[in-house]
Amino acid sequence: MEQTCSHLKQMKDVKPNTRGCEECLKMGDTWVHLRLCKFCGHVGCCDSSKNKHATKHYHQTQHPIVRSLEAGEEWGYCYLDDMFFETL
């Protein structure tokens, strides 16, 4: 049986709020990769970054879907369903 994600229908066409991780920029810190919240446009750093702001944003807001903001990448991930998507 193929697993589906009901949260994909709730995504919005958002623009990134910043050019880097919002919290890291405020702290003067660095990140490895960036993730875009597909619900509000929040930009957070990935789980390979020491601060893991994208995941923290999910836990604070329950916005479940992020998209990679890396050049040439279009994949996404749903935290609630623990599902990766090749393109979003």
Task: Report all structural domains of the chain as residue ranges with CATH numbers, in order of start.
Answer: 6-85 (3.30.40.10)
Give yes or no for residue 2 having a pLDDT over 80. Answer: no
Give yes or no for residue 38 having a pLDDT over 80. Answer: yes
Q: What pTM, to 2 d.p., does this model score?
A: 0.93
Which spans in the chain are helix H?
A: 22-27, 53-61
What's the pLDDT at 88?
81
CA dihedral 44, 13, 39, 21 (to 10 degrees): 10
Give yes or no for residue 14 having a pLDDT over 50. Answer: yes
**Residue 1 confidence class, pLDDT cut points 50, 70, 90:** very low
Between 84 and 3, the more confident residue is: 84
Give yes or no for residue 62 having a pLDDT over 50. Answer: yes
* Paired strand residues for 37: 66
Instruction: Compute the half-sphere exposure of residue 20: CA atoms within 13 Å on the CB side of its CA.
Output: 11
